[in-house]
């Protein structure tokens, strides 16, 4: 980074901190963590996803599957082609399109296969990322680029087709808690004597307490066990899919079924931050300048589907998903040996268990869609939910 970049980041970080201090003061000196996370990520003009920091790729804070290899997008294009084919046409809606690389690869593959959607809609809240998407997708053939539309909210009118959301659920604000058998605690944010952010617990309010007790069930958490939960995922999925008349919503993210997520040995939660390609667990280190995420409780996603009148059509690891979608065929279809070798190396990052293959999961939610999905031909873990 240049000296000017460093100065800009310093000024921006101070503005974010002042906004957070004001919010903590307005809340009486203690702010629930989900509200802190919402401000740090999404406060207009200040939050991580609302400001101009470079987020993705080698020069950003983290790297996603589409940035690793076009194989990822080409495989998801096969999924979209199947959904659109079963429906006799329709649209693709991508939520949180990042740099635009996934959209570019999906559209390129669908164009080559002769099965473009009527529209490729992108729901993106970050002005910075929208600019990057416009620049990249503008390099597509004109007849392809013309099908891309940017939305500020989910479609209001009924539509059919495929919804894609890669690494979006992990950025929904979460509530943090600490287990104490006599009284579960909510973990929130306060200011220390010098005005710096710090953790502070309070007795969990009734709604959060009831949710913690529901999760606990027969689990043997020890006193001090800490984790998080995302009650926002249900309303969010309902909103994203409300106008989906028929089709499939595919969510890909790192996460676990509930019985694994809240295992007693996972006693410090899954909250993680990403700053300049470094992962750490201090959400107060660079507020507004770093990504804050938590793993996804896919059982909660399945519950959200049921509440939104959606069917869970499949649940699998990312590796199984990509194998079902023909990643091996995509590697072998490369035009020369050098490209095949490079694609095989990229595929290992997407498929290997110690890389992204098993940490990332995929869940498909459908409405008025009954055809078996090729994406889950290799594996279907729905019973684990």
Cα angle: 347, vertex 349, 352; to 5 degrees: 90
What pLDDT is attached to residue 174?
98
What pLDDT is attached to residue 277?
75
Q: What count of Cα atoms within 13 Å lies in the side-chain half-sphere of residue 6?
A: 3
Q: Lowest mean pLDDT of 18-22, 132-136, 214-218, 378-382, name the range.
A: 214-218
Of 237, 201, 197, the C-alpha closest to 95 is: 237
Query: Does the pLDDT of residue 10 top 80, yes or no?
Result: no
Q: Where residue 320 sits, what CATH number does that domain have?
A: 3.40.50.12710
Share of residues in the chain with pLDDT > 70 (%): 95
Q: Is there a contact between 241 and 158 (Cβ–Cβ < 8 Å)?
A: no
Residue 276's CB: how many other CB atoms inside 10 A?
A: 14
Burial of 64 from C-beta contacts in 10 A (0-12 / 13-18 / 19+): buried
Assess if residue 102 is contained within a domain: yes
Assess if residue 343 is contained within a domain: yes
3-class secondary structure, 219: coil
Place of tokens 């929208």: 130
Assess if residue 289 is contained within a domain: yes
Question: Which whole number is the average pLDDT over 342-367?
Answer: 95
Count of domains forming the chain: 1
Question: Which whole number is the average pLDDT over 95-107?
Answer: 96
Assess if residue 112 is contained within a domain: yes
More confident of the two residues 2 and 309: 309
Average pLDDT of the chain, as a whole number: 93
What pLDDT is attached to residue 60?
52
Assess if residue 42 is contained within a domain: no
Q: Is there a contact between 74 and 330 (Cβ–Cβ < 8 Å)?
A: yes
Assess if residue 203 is contained within a domain: no
Question: Which whole number is the average pLDDT over 123-139?
Answer: 93
Q: pLDDT per residue over 15-74, tens digit each?
A: 999 999 999 999 999 999 999 999 999 998 889 988 755 554 445 556 899 999 999 999
Host domain of residue 137: 65-172+231-384
Question: Which whole number is the average pLDDT over 147-174?
Answer: 97
Q: pLDDT per residue over 318-351, tens digit each?
A: 999 999 999 999 999 988 999 999 999 999 999 9
Query: Does the pLDDT of residue 251 top 50, yes or no?
Result: yes
What pLDDT is attached to residue 2?
55
Alpha-carbon distance 349 to 69, whole Å?
A: 9
Question: Which whole number is the average pLDDT over 280-290?
Answer: 93
Q: Lowest mean pLDDT of 49-58, 173-182, 213-222, name the range.
A: 49-58
Assess if residue 214 is contained within a domain: no
Of 165, 208, 188, 215, the C-alpha closest to 37 is: 188
Assess if residue 327 is contained within a domain: yes
Q: What count of Cα atoms within 13 Å lies in the side-chain half-sphere of residue 71?
A: 32
Question: Which whole number is the average pLDDT over 153-178?
Answer: 97
């Amino acid at each position: 980074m240049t000296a000017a970049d460093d100065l800009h980041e310093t000024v921006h970080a101070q503005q974010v901190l002042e906004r957070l201090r004001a919010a903590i003061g307005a809340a009486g000196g203690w702010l629930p963590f989900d509200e802190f996370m919402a401000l740090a990520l999404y406060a207009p003009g200040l939050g991580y996803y609302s400001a101009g920091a470079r987020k993705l790729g080698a020069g950003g804070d983290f790297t996603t599957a589409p940035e690793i290899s076009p194989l990822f997008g080409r495989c998801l294009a096969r999924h979209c082609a199947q959904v659109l084919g079963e429906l006799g046409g329709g649209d693709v809606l991508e939520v949180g399109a990042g740099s635009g690389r996934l959209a570019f690869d999906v559209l390129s593959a669908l164009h080559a296969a002769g099965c473009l959607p009527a529209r490729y809609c992108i729901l993106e809240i970050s002005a910075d990322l929208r600019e990057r998407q416009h620049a990249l997708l503008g390099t597509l053939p004109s007849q392809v680029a013309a099908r891309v539309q940017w939305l500020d909210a989910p479609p209001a009118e009924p539509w059919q087709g495929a919804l894609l959301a890669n690494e979006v659920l992990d950025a929904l604000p979460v509530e943090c808690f600490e287990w104490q058998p006599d009284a579960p605690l909510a973990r929130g944010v306060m200011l220390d004597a010098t005005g710096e952010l710090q953790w502070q617990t309070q007795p969990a309010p009734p709604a959060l307490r009831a949710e913690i007790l529901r999760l606990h069930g027969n689990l043997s958490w020890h006193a001090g066990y800490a984790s998080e939960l995302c009650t926002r995922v249900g309303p969010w999925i309902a909103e994203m899919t409300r106008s989906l008349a028929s089709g499939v919503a595919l969510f890909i993210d790192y996460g676990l079924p509930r019985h694994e997520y809240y295992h007693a040995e996972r006693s410090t939660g899954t909250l993680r931050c990403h700053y300049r390609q470094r992962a750490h667990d201090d959400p107060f280190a660079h507020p507004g300048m770093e990504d804050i995420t938590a793993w996804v409780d896919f059982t909660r996603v399945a519950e959200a589907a049921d509440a939104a009148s959606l069917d869970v059509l499949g649940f699998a690891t990312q590796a199984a998903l990509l194998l079902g979608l023909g990643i091996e065929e995509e590697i072998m279809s490369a035009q020369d040996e050098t490209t095949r070798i490079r694609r095989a190396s990229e595929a290992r990052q997407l498929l290997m268990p110690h890389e992204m293959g098993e940490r990332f999961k995929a869940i498909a939610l459908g409405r008025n869609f009954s055809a078996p999905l090729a994406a889950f031909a290799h594996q279907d873990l729905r019973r684990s939910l």
